[in-house]
């Protein structure tokens, strides 16, 4: 690599900031002492040393009395190949817990670099609670649309994601690259890597010194003409890469997703529907597609390659989310959902022909009531602590379950996959009640039992008999 193509030095960035804060030139010996934490025998020797360190950076010039900042900008990206996106040098600091033997992350530093300049930097202790919110937002802004470069101790990225509350995506792991390209053990440290690559290691404790080494190690491990995208793939366990700049959402969007039940929709750049999924916790489930993982299936990798946007629809309960997901998959036919013919097991369809399901609800409601008849969801109604909603339930029962002369009126509503309902009931038998309301003589008998359930919080009467036939 010749001098004209060499990347600008992070130490030059450090010197630029140092000189901006001072009036007048600074002698080479002073700069060596303050920036490199070392001493030089003479001003001439110190000047030669800094010229090598600064690598002809046009922003730094030595004049008769010392170094000055010219105010010019360098057109040499810091270690970047042509066309590289911004990158963030991520430094993780922690130690091993003596009791558990587990490495624990305590501090982070993020340095964002683009077009030859250190654009911004942030860092601090990974505290919890409200004190951490400012640092989290600063870290998210620093990482936005950039490639993260790390030398990650074991489990550090997962701990970082847990604290951040958002997925990292696809960082370039110098630890993995050094293992695969140099044969170094996975447990090696950044100092070990610096020694292997014959990089100068300074015991200053200065985070920018560490960032300098991290950037130099990136260049040393990088093959000629290799892009950051290629490096991301090389250091990924499943060779899949999350390219944040091409997505129509960011980590903050994922961090802000609700933590309740609902469905999510993945779309490509042309708004074609790729996939519909459901979860009891939208925040956790959607973020899991982008978290550090031991590997993604080929189907998930294909979805992520085509993904451009995400839509979410919160639901009142996980049953509602399951029903909505099944209905949407049938009606919209997403490209990557596994379609299946619905063939209910013998007797299952008839047993679920007429059903009322009760489950606990989130406040201010107390219960959610689902009324299903002839394979259709007629109503989903919340019931309040004073019985609000029970009159609507009674009207629905009268109209669609108990009219004796003409028979129940025709039903309209979304189709229900009875197998989905049966699986949900089997998994939630301890918290949900399901029964056929037509086992009772009148709608009033059903609603009287609902009121008992509200008042007493129990599906059993005072004699211990079930108030609903399950």
CA-to-CA distance for 154 and 97, rounded, in angstroms?
13
| 9, pLDDT greater than 50 | yes
- Answer yes or no: are the C-beta atoms of 86 and 147 closer than 8 Å: yes
Q: What pLDDT, on a 0 to 100 scale, did the predictor assign at position 262? A: 94
List domains and CATH numbers for the chain: 3-69 (1.10.10), 87-244 (3.30.420), 257-332 (3.40.1440.10), 348-456 (no CATH)
Is the CB of residue 16 less than 8 Å from the CB of residue 31? no
pLDDT at position 265 is 97
Whole-number percent of the chain with pLDDT over 90:
29
**pLDDT tens profile 213-260:** 999 999 999 988 888 888 988 888 766 678 888 899 988 899 999 999
pLDDT range class, residue 207, cuts 50, 70, 90: confident
With b for 16 or more beta-carbon neighbours within 10 A and e for fewer, the 79-117 pattern comes to bbbeebebbbbbbbbbeeeeeeeebebeebbbbbbbebb
pLDDT exceeds 80 at position 345: no
β-pair partners for 67 = 26, 62
CA distances from 271 to 122, 268, 344, 383 (A): 36, 5, 33, 37
Whole-model pTM: value is 0.64
pLDDT band at 469 (very low <50, low <70, confident <90, very high): low
How much is the average pLDDT of 139-152?
A: 91
What tens digit of pLDDT does each residue of 381-431 get? 899 988 899 999 999 999 888 875 444 455 555 566 667 788 888 888 888
Over residues 80-133, the pLDDT tens digits come to 445 678 899 999 998 888 888 888 999 999 999 887 677 788 888 987 777 788
């Amino acid at each position: 690599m010749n001098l004209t193509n060499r990347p600008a030095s992070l130490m030059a960035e450090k010197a630029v900031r140092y000189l901006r804060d001072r009036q007048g030139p600074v002698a080479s010996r002073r700069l060596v002492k303050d920036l490199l934490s070392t001493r030089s025998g003479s001003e001439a020797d110190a000047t030669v040393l800094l010229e090598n360190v600064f690598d002809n950076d046009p922003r730094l010039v030595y004049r008769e009395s010392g170094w000055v900042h010219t105010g010019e900008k360098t057109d040499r990206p810091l270690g970047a190949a042509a066309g590289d996106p911004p990158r963030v040098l991520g430094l993780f600091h922690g130690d091993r817990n003596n009791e558990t033997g587990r490495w624990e992350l305590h501090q982070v530093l993020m340095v964002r670099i683009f077009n030859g300049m250190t654009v911004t930097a942030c860092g601090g202790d990974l505290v919890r609670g409200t004190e951490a919110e400012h640092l989290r937002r600063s870290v998210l802004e620093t990482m936005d649309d950039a490639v993260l470069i790390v030398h990650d101790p074991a489990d550090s990225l997962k701990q970082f994601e847990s604290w951040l509350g958002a997925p990292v995506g696809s960082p370039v792991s110098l630890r993995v690259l050094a293992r695969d390209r140099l044969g170094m053990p996975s447990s090696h440290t950044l100092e070990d890597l610096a020694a292997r690559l014959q990089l100068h290691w300074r015991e200053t404790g200065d985070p920018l010194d560490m960032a300098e080494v991290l950037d130099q190690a990136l260049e040393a491990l990088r093959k000629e003409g290799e892009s950051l995208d290629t490096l991301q793939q090389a250091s990924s366990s499943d060779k899949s890469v999350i390219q944040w700049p091409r997505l129509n959402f960011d980590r903050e969007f994922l961090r802000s997703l609700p933590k309740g039940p609902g469905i999510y929709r993945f779309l490509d750049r042309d708004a074609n529907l790729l996939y519909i999924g459901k979860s009891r916790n939208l925040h956790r489930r959607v973020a899991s597609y982008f978290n550090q993982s031991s590997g993604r299936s080929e189907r998930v990798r294909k979805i992520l390659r085509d993904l451009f946007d995400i839509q979410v629809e919160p639901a009142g309960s996980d049953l509602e989310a399951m029903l909505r997901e099944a209905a949407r998959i049938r009606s919209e036919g997403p490209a990557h959902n596994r379609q299946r013919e619905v063939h209910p097991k013998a007797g299952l369809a008839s047993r679920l022909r007429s059903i009322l399901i009760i489950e606990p609800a989130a406040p201010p409601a107390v219960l959610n009531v689902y009324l299903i008849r002839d394979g259709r969801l007629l109503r989903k109604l919340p019931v309040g602590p004073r019985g609000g909603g029970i009159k609507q339930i009674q009207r629905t029962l009268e109209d669609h379950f108990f009219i004796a002369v003409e028979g129940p009126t025709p039903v309209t509503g979304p189709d229900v996959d009875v197998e989905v309902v049966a699986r949900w009931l089997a998994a939630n038998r301890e918290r949900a009640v399901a029964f056929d309301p037509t086992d009772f003589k009148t709608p009033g008998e059903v609603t009287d039992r609902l009121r008992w359930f509200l008042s007493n919080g129990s599906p059993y009467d005072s004699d211990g008999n079930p108030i609903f036939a399950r």
